[in-house]
């Protein structure tokens, strides 16, 4: 039993003595850039959002929504994708879904970026005929 204990202690201490690999000359040691204003971290998601934006501009909202849903599967905590999806739903008069998606965007966006999400929520409430709730959101978040 004592031999087994000594063996495990030796094994454990030998495993801790291994040095971390040193990056080669070609590898970068720079830290990744932090995300900026409306910039998702996932480049595949970024490409899908960009393509969806183009589709929305060309009045192809249904296909844009499909791309945005795919982008959400890649990066579900991307508030910008939720916001663009909310705006797409709003443009096709899907007021309830637009409000829901914009509220989800608020959870993941920075305080500065949340203003557009709150504006989308207020517009969705206006579209549903709930003018008083839309007015109170605009007043609460200083949205014109």
Mind listing the domains of the chain with CATH numbers?
42-144 (1.25.40.10)
DSSP state of 41: S
CA distance linking residue 125 with residue 91, whole number of Å = 13
pLDDT tens digits along 90-144: 999 999 999 999 999 999 999 888 999 999 999 999 999 999 999 999 999 998 7
* Ramachandran quadrant class, 75 (left: phi over 0; alpha: psi -120 to 50; beta: rest): beta
Mean of the per-residue pLDDT values for the chain? 82
Confidence grade of residue 26 (pLDDT, cut at 50, 70, 90)? low
**pLDDT for position 36:** 45
d(CA 64, CA 123) in angstroms, rounded, equals 20
**Considering the entire predicted model, what is its pTM?**
0.70
């Amino acid at each position: 039993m004592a031999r087994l204990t000594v063996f495990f202690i030796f094994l454990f201490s030998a495993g801790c003595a291994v040095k971390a690999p040193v990056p080669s000359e070609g590898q970068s040691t720079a830290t990744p850039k932090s995300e900026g204003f409306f910039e998702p971290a996932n480049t595949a998601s970024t490409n899908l959002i960009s393509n969806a934006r183009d589709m929305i501009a060309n009045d192809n909202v249904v296909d844009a929504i499909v791309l945005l849903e795919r982008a959400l599967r890649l990066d579900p905590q991307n508030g910008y994708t939720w916001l663009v999806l909310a705006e797409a739903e709003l443009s096709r008069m899907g007021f309830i879904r637009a409000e829901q998606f914009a509220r989800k965007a608020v959870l993941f966006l920075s305080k500065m970026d949340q203003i557009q999400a709150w504006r989308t929520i207020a517009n969705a409430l206006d579209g549903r005929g709930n003018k008083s709730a839309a007015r109170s959101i605009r007043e609460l978040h200083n949205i014109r």
